[in-house]
Structure 1
Amino acid sequence: MPAEGGAAMGGGAGGSAGMAGGAPPSNGGASGGADSNGGKASGGENAMGGSGNEAGADSQAGAAGAAGMDGGMTCEFPTTFRWRSSGVLVSPKSDPSHNLVSVKDPTIVFFDSRYHVYATTANTAGNWNMVYFNFTDWSTAKDAPHYYMDRTPGFEGYHCAPHVFYFRPHKKWYLIQQSQPPQYSTNDDISQPDKWTRPQNFFAQMPAGTPELPIDYWVICDETHCYLFFTGDNGRLYRTRTRIEDFPNGFGSLSVALEESNRNDLFEGSATYKIKGTNKYLTIIEAIGANGRYYRAWTSDRLDGTWTPLGGKESNPFAGAVNVTYEPGVADWTNDVSHGELIRDGYDETMTIDPCRLELLYQGRDPASGGEYSQLPYRLGLLRFVRD
């Protein structure tokens, strides 16, 4: 969702100690931008809301994995939502070459008994790049070493808004990113951020109908096709697809999957998931309201089908200030529930989520902060769904 800031962020040492993980078994497993020369921040206009208090979440050692997280228990997907938030779990880590003001736009998977996170960073010069870190327990997330992705060949300069998953047909990890056009890199081992291949464009030329500011790319596959969704800070969600055997090549013409007349009602940061135990899909998209950023939701029977609203706007959101409370002892640290990702029931290209265990890793900031979008001090926190 961020914009290109111009110069690269530098190549200082990042520190990858403690990085663990690897590749799944051989049978699989389980953003506001500008054009490539610009400096306009996506999400900067009308932005509502950095730093939060460092209250942590309760300890939650990795309980998931590629298989189901709840031992066969099934749950109806809710139609109304209440959440409880942690305090700030992850803050930016600076070094002499990376003077950072925010960490944001996280993508997360649980694999090999660890949470693996790639996220956007912004520095004091307004430049965007990414970091990687992993941890076994939310209580230790704040201590995880951060690896600066501009140390990896090909990742210098403007790369942000990551989305990571394991693509079973290729037995490879894929890292989708914004640079401004959509790009991908591959890796045999998610825990080795220095091993990603140089980013490649999905398109030789962006297809007709692409908005001026395409951002926040997301890939999800069904049995036959892989879909690339993205937003444009213009009230539209875009979709293109390719046959699963052709991925990552072969993406075709664009379709508008969702549209709102007020661009703030469908702004950026979309994510689409398969709902476990159903034939339904969920899309969440960040919107801008009078009191902060929040998430709306839609469901559909097909990835190329019609999307039906689930809940409403700011007064009845999927997740926002009006339906979030805080864990005991945690101060209210953000009005924004902004660009994040639901923790999946697995890590593969199906993007499956379990209704029994809804958790959203999100970015928030001190409501008193303001200024240029790139300088807003976003940090990461965790929402857990409160089931009635």
Structure 2
Amino acid sequence: MKCFIKKSFSIAFGLVFMLLMFATVLNAAANANPSWTVDEPVIFHRELPPYDYYGAKDPTIVYYGGKYHVFYTGANQSGGWQMLYTSASTIPELKNAKRTYMSKIGESYFCAPEVFYFEPQKLWYLVYQDGTYGAAYSTTTNIADPSSWKGPQSFGISGNMGWDYFVICDDQNAYMYNTPDDGSGRLYMRKTSLSNFPKGWSAPTVAMSGVFEGAEVYKSLADGKYYLLIEDMKDGRYYELWTSSSAGGPWTQVAEKWAWRGNLTKYNSTTKWTTNVSHGELIRTGYNQKLEINDINHVDFLIQGTLSLSGDYQKLIWDLGLIRNYPGSQATSNPSATPTPADTSTPTPTRLAEPTPGPRSAFTQIEAEKYNSINSSTIETITTTNGSGLGYIESGNYLAYNKIDFGSGATSFKALVAGELTSKIELRLNGPTGTLMGALSVEATGDWNTYQEQTCNINKVTGVNDLYLVFSGPVNIDWFSFGGSAANTPIPTIPVTIPTGDLNKDGIINMADVILLAKAFGSVIGDSKYDPSYDLNNDGAINMSDVIIIASKFNTVISSPGNTPVPTPTKASTPTRVVTPTPIPSPSGTALYQLAAAKGKMFGTCVNSQWFSNSTGSTYANILKNEFGMVVAENEMKVDAIEPSQNNFNFTNGDKLVNYALSNNKKVRGHTLVWHAQLPGWMGNWSGSRDGLISAMNNHITKTMEHFKGKIAEWDVVNEACDDSGNGLRRSVWTNKIGNDFIDIAFQTARKADPNALLYYNDYNIEDMDAKSNTAYNMIKSMKERGIPIDGVGFQCHFINGMSASQLNAIEQNIKRYAAIGVKVSITELDIRMNSSENQTTGFQTQANNYKSLMEIALRNDNVTTFMVWGFTDKYSWVPGTFPGTGRALIYDDNFNPKPAYNALKEALMK
């Protein structure tokens, strides 16, 4: 009887389902103004700080293996954008699900993901934007393991880059949509064949105009049409809806405001949490590359929402939740309308790092690669002489091993390790900054393939605990285990801790600790310079909260000769290493560059063109050698000098300067790779194609930077691109032939050519607060937000004598806003010109005051790292020839005598 009822119900349900599907097909036309029900948010900001400190954004969602898998962007506390992962069996269960930082592909900038299973290759793809390639992807065979992704990898595209890359496939092709960063309001589309994916993309074409960002495309099974959703912001944040018979368009608009605040009609939560419909994804019927939904009129839409769009964009509060355009309750299980049939192309699950159903004995050999969680973007499983282990470990990385049973007491630690350098492994309980059991000081073994067992004593630990190995420096590790004391000496059972704020363990909290903290300031877990012992409030970031803690205990004496020191664990048979207190830097001499170096600044000068022809004499040479720590060529490394004819490079003068710098222990600035002026005729009068000029520009950048690779500290990648009016970019061969995205392309190419050089945008009249400086700031801020690899901005600082207090205040205000977005400032070409009629005595003093004020601003702001004068002697200054009726702009006169400005700089540096 039960079987009959069950079978009858199944038949009836099937008939009802068929009727519903038939009715759906008949009424498949998209509703242009649906009513949306807003369910309560399920993924909140600040659930895994600092990675989602301000906002949880840009979700991608897929249902597979009985779970919803969600990847999303976190608005980082330190100003970056980084991706996280979570999963749960139902949408409501996402609210309490574990959040995981995507450390395996972790970068300072990677965000806006899309996930799908690409059946032809039997791989999961995560598509996203990043700071390395712009358009990037990672792959895995196991979507449930956030540590299994391999990437970032490049799609190999350039031109009209921007953000929000979204891929959909039909039976022949893959289509990629994205919006550029040029303010054009366009949506671009590229395509490639399935056999070539993920490479072989066509040139971008304009799919539509007058839109914003966050485009995504789905195929509706109800009517066989494709639907494109794209975010706009003419009235808050909302989504437009477009349709086409093809995944590649052309597109016809269904609704300007398909999902917007005006048709959010019902809130299924205690509070209204959003009036904006922003960057989200529809829940699909399947999980493959075709991105299919059942019916555009019956969708669950996981969006980022907020009530307010005012304030700093980076700090807007976003949470994630569902809206749906149909009556009834939200999806709680498989969104597919019909069961997913068996499919030989279904992804093969792979095991997580180590499920650990029960405690593992601390006294057995534990393989390093069998961790439970990891904090690293570099660690990989490697082959060792004993099987396998872990390598590519960097400072700040850690590994977690859950439920390690230390029994009645472990008092020593042993590991099989290899490495060419010394390093340290801290052993901590129940967290990366938890109780310190001890530390293994790893001695170099000779090379990365020579493994040795190394041992240290630890403070006695008992019972079951989670073990964290926290690394300071590179090392390869094969396995580890615990045992009795490694030496026949009593082991104290009290925990070893570092007194809060005493970072260098010298017994007092003072300026030396502040300086140490400053070096790691702004870093977060996963960054190479992050040190958990500096994270004084254990919030995952080294920030102002930690500074405040040190300030509250400043000059506190932690220990004195009469106190009993806390024992420091040491490696067996190795003498205890004495920690040398970090001294407050003091000048190594009285030269300008030495005084500046003691303050953490690089002081340098432009080397005048006469020097390259040996026309400057011995006095010039002595001043250059003795007073400056960095040099830059006045004209000899500009485009026309380096590449006078296409692909014919002349590095003679550049090599002369670089070799001089290396032999005299000086650093070099590179000036400049891309500029609208001083171009050779073949480039400045380019008559070829856009792609041809991009190729020529990239070739110049790549060959120049590779030639000087490792010898140039910072490069002016793009010079003077902002229009003097403050209205966007100046017209030049670059904008006319390539478009505004030539800047993005240049910086991306430069980063690949020399990953270790700092990359700068350099310009004049962008130092204080006005229209042109706002244009430059907004451009650079946009580049940072989109992951374009820019490190700093160069303020040329060609000033007129008699700078006002308000101008100086505006310069400092400008510097601070760059600091807020993580951008360095270099003063790159400073000179302060005087009118020829100006009284020398009073004029020189005014000039000295101006130089001094600028140096004081630099000293007050840590993000000002370089201070360059554009030549040092008035004898060879460019000023009189460029600005007739003016001159005397530098710190030495025509006879190489130091002027009051020279002494004023010293006064500022010696305070």
Q: TM-score, length-normalised on structure 1?
A: 0.74
Kindly indicate whether residue 233 of structure 2 is the aligned counterpart of residue 288 of structure 1.
Answer: yes
Kindly provide the CA deviation profile for residues 191-215 of structure 1, in whole angstroms up to 9, marking residues without a partner as x.
1110000211101x504xx15xx11
Question: Aligned match of 1:256 in 206, 214, 222?
Answer: 206
Question: Aligned match of 1:222 in 162, 170, 174?
Answer: 170
AA in 1 matched with 2:136: Q
SS in 1 for 2:37: strand
CA distance in 1, matches of 2:320, 2:312: 19
CA distance in 2, matches of 1:121, 1:361: 16
C-alpha contact (below 8 Å) 2:39/2:268 kept by paired residues: no
AA in 2 matched with 1:79: N
Cα distance change of structure 1 residues 99 and 306 upon mapping to structure 2, 3 Å threshold:
closer
AA in 1 matched with 2:158: M
Matches within 5 A, 1:21-36: none
2:282 aligned partner: 342
Question: Aligned match of 1:179 in 110, 130, 138?
Answer: 130
How big is the shift at 1:333?
1.9
1:365 aligned partner: 306
SS in 2 for 1:124: coil
SS in 2 for 1:289: coil
Matches within 5 A, 1:78-157: 78-80=30-32, 81-95=34-48, 98=51, 100-149=53-102, 151-152=103-104, 154-157=105-108
CA distance in 1, matches of 2:98, 2:228: 32
CA distance in 1, matches of 2:222, 2:52: 45
Kindly provide the CA deviation profile for residues 365-385 of structure 1, in whole angstroms up to 9, marking residues without a partner as x.
133x63111110100010111
How big is the shift at 1:159?
0.4
SS in 1 for 2:40: coil
Which runs of 5 or more structure 2 residues have no equivalent in the other structure?
Answer: 1-15, 329-911
Cα distance change of structure 1 residues 83 and 97 upon mapping to structure 2, 3 Å threshold:
closer
CA distance in 1, matches of 2:92, 2:327: 23
C-alpha contact (below 8 Å) 1:272/1:283 kept by paired residues: yes
SS in 2 for 1:302: coil
Question: Aligned match of 1:379 in 316, 319, 338?
Answer: 319
AA in 2 matched with 1:370: S
Cα distance change of structure 1 residues 109 and 187 upon mapping to structure 2, 3 Å threshold:
same
CA distance in 1, matches of 2:78, 2:321: 25
Kindly indicate whether residue 264 of structure 2 is the aligned counterpart of residue 306 of structure 1.
Answer: no
AA in 2 matched with 1:177: Y
Cα distance change of structure 1 residues 206 and 328 upon mapping to structure 2, 3 Å threshold:
closer
SS in 2 for 1:165: strand
C-alpha contact (below 8 Å) 1:234/1:267 kept by paired residues: no
2:595 aligned partner: none
CA distance in 2, matches of 1:304, 1:190: 27
How big is the shift at 1:127?
0.8
Matches within 5 A, 1:239-254: 239-254=189-204
Question: Aligned match of 1:201 in 132, 135, 154?
Answer: 154
How big is the shift at 1:231?
1.1
Kindly provide the CA deviation profile for residues 259-304 of structure 1, in whole angstroms up to 9, marking residues without a partner as x.
12xxxxx1000000111133310000000023x1000010001123
How big is the shift at 1:93?
4.0
2:118 aligned partner: 167
1:270 aligned partner: 215
C-alpha contact (below 8 Å) 2:42/2:321 kept by paired residues: yes
Cα distance change of structure 1 residues 110 and 95 upon mapping to structure 2, 3 Å threshold:
closer
CA distance in 2, matches of 1:329, 1:170: 42
How big is the shift at 1:142?
1.2
Deviates more, 1:113-122 or 1:302-311: 302-311
SS in 1 for 2:95: helix
C-alpha contact (below 8 Å) 2:50/2:77 kept by paired residues: no
CA distance in 1, matches of 2:209, 2:234: 17
Aligned Cα RMSD in Å? 2.0
CA distance in 1, matches of 2:49, 2:247: 45
C-alpha contact (below 8 Å) 2:113/2:128 kept by paired residues: yes
Question: Aligned match of 1:191 in 128, 132, 144?
Answer: 144
Cα distance change of structure 1 residues 144 and 235 upon mapping to structure 2, 3 Å threshold:
same
CA distance in 2, matches of 1:193, 1:161: 16
C-alpha contact (below 8 Å) 2:40/2:268 kept by paired residues: no
Kindly provide the CA deviation profile for residues 44-73 of structure 1, in whole angstroms up to 9, marking residues without a partner as x.
xxxxxxxxxxxxxxxxxxxxxxxxxx9554
How big is the shift at 1:174?
0.2
Q: Highest Rg: 1 or 2?
A: 2
Matches within 5 A, 1:312-351: 312=256, 317-351=257-291
AA in 2 matched with 1:281: Y
Cα distance change of structure 1 residues 284 and 303 upon mapping to structure 2, 3 Å threshold:
same
C-alpha contact (below 8 Å) 1:86/1:330 kept by paired residues: no
1:58 aligned partner: none
C-alpha contact (below 8 Å) 2:59/2:303 kept by paired residues: yes
Cα distance change of structure 1 residues 327 and 169 upon mapping to structure 2, 3 Å threshold:
same
1:297 aligned partner: 241
For CA contacts below 8 A with separation 6 or more, give which structure has more relative contact order: 1
- Tell me the matched-pair count: 301
C-alpha contact (below 8 Å) 1:326/1:332 kept by paired residues: no
How big is the shift at 1:96?
6.6
Deviates more, 1:232-241 or 1:280-289: 232-241
AA in 2 matched with 1:238: Y
C-alpha contact (below 8 Å) 1:107/1:119 kept by paired residues: yes
Cα distance change of structure 1 residues 243 and 334 upon mapping to structure 2, 3 Å threshold:
same
AA in 2 matched with 1:176: V
AA in 2 matched with 1:186: T
C-alpha contact (below 8 Å) 1:93/1:146 kept by paired residues: no
How big is the shift at 1:309?
0.4
CA distance in 1, matches of 2:315, 2:233: 18
Kindly provide the CA deviation profile for residues 335-385 of structure 1, in whole angstroms up to 9, marking residues without a partner as x.
210000011110110011111631100001133x63111110100010111
CA distance in 2, matches of 1:376, 1:276: 37
Identity between Structure 1 and Structure 2 (%): 36
CA distance in 2, matches of 1:155, 1:190: 16
AA in 2 matched with 1:365: T
SS in 1 for 2:43: coil
How big is the shift at 1:77?
4.2
CA distance in 1, matches of 2:275, 2:184: 22
How big is the shift at 1:89?
1.6
Cα distance change of structure 1 residues 129 and 282 upon mapping to structure 2, 3 Å threshold:
same
C-alpha contact (below 8 Å) 1:220/1:351 kept by paired residues: yes
1:236 aligned partner: 186
How big is the shift at 1:327?
3.4
Cα distance change of structure 1 residues 141 and 238 upon mapping to structure 2, 3 Å threshold:
same
SS in 1 for 2:233: strand
